[in-house]
Chains A and B, each alone.
Chain A
């Protein structure tokens, strides 16, 4: 087996706030193989966008702790200087579609120009070549090349989201991070954009980190699932096991709450709310809402390795061997 494309180990991103240190990302680890997609699945505020920021080093000013190891094809990119990271990693090897990015396109620059920009700035390509590749990138995501000369306001939300996706793909990065890429869109547009992503993954072997709260959509692209809860990854499983029978009690509760089109059992909700990320409880963070809680849950659970390559941060599954 070759080494994974991305290996994240004990990654932390804490923020300074007036009320204390907020542990948005609190020691997470996962891996991603070339040509595969991992879904970071979790509900609002669990730290998904913080993960995207940490991976791409797009940090706010109030960082209290930013540490851990992130290897990209063998290089520890956390060890790089900011200058080297900007030059060699961001956009050229890892690109991102930020949450709600379609609303942050520059309103006074034509679409083609904006898509071509990463190529000119980060790869130093001449304008003519960049524009040519922009038009191909747009076609690939389902935007006619006629749109090159339009301004963002002339495009629907779905079209703008495709434009943002073309921007992320144009430098042909090895890894694309997508933060809620379809959440603000209509169902048909969502499905059509997921079709585009599937095709690109199949045809180009690009790897994806797909960040979403939408369980159904997440199953459209996932090879692996990393389930997040309150700043931690509580389960990592191959998609074919996670979506059929999640191991962690939170995964089970989340799956039971999802309405299914052809399922006659009524979705069940989960009582309570996630713990605060400022001074979170020392033990299992899901324990207060967990129906299967027992005595050991007051202490931090170990990550247990289960069959079929699953891992679960839960005392039910015992200590790591």
Chain B
């Protein structure tokens, strides 16, 4: 064992989570390769953004890390404990190690519980004290003040942004080492989103938490993550430090994603965007070779449509799974 603090908090290798599709409830109709061989380590105290379009496997990755989806093969361990081997008790402890912030705060909060009950619940389940001071402190940390007032409220009395702050407070209350935030602001207005992301980042830094921030929008990550993993069709296509990856994207898919983003600018109306018109591939029968090749402007016939690209290192800190960089 490595000394605590230096060992990665999250370790995965060749992680695959597949789902079997059934027809009429029993006939195997196909296999969805939702997460199809990803390997990475996350250090304690780092924030990574996992970026990709819907269906690329980012939520499956989140659910696999949370122990909600069972991996089909590969390794996944949190704080040194492999997830596959856990019994009920260990799973319960894992739940206390990992906080979860989901996309729709309203759906995440039980409608008939007050904020106080919602926050006390995890403490109660884990046999911890859930006095008023503890709950007040939790609300203050997420900026819901005066806390006494918010404790008495029910979810429907709160705005979307306030609801998401309650979800964050609940995710933090067992003092987890890892927070997984799956599209935490995609249901919120732009004017409140920045506040939620700032809050997550501030807490992540002050408590030295590991943060996995899942988003489809690369424009939101610059200030809120140290590293970016770009996913496409169940796999990583590019990883690297945030600034480097945004300023000099290497993989053609990352380049396309960045080209698709419209910063508010009146000149946008004057020209078309350089994006492929085609659709993302099926995860049941993914294309052979590089999965992006059918949409890639640089695809090299005979190579990209045949052989899986391995990891290349086009720049010292950036990894790209693309034959262009061989």
Residues on A close to B: CB < 8 A?
A: 37, 43-44, 142, 156, 158-159, 186-192, 194-195, 198-199, 213-223, 239-240, 242-244, 253-255, 257-264, 266-271, 273
Contacts and interface: CB of A to CB of B under 8 A. Distances in A.
A222 B54 CA distance: 27
B190 A215 contact: yes
B3 interface: no
Given A215-B264, A220-B268, A258-B264, A186 B54 contact: yes
A44 B216 CA distance: 20
26 contacts: A43-B190, A43-B191, A44-B160, A156-B279, A187-B216, A187-B217, A188-B256, A189-B53, A191-B260, A191-B261, A198-B272, A199-B272, A215-B190, A215-B264, A216-B263, A217-B262, A219-B262, A220-B273, A221-B269, A243-B265, A257-B193, A261-B246, A266-B198, A267-B223, A269-B198, A270-B191
B145 to A, nearest CB: 12
A41 to B, nearest CB: 10
A37 B268 CA distance: 13
Interface residues of B, number: 43
A219 B268 contact: yes
A220 B262 contact: yes
B195 interface: yes
Contact of A188 (B195, B196, B220, B275): B275
A222 B266 contact: yes
B189 interface: yes
Nearest to B191: A270
Given A190-B260, A213-B189, 12 more contacts: A43-B191, A156-B279, A187-B53, A192-B273, A192-B276, A216-B219, A219-B264, A244-B266, A258-B263, A259-B223, A261-B218, A267-B223
B217 A269 contact: no
A261 B190 contact: no
Contacts of A259: 193-194, 217, 219-220, 222-223
Contacts of B128: none
B276 A216 contact: no
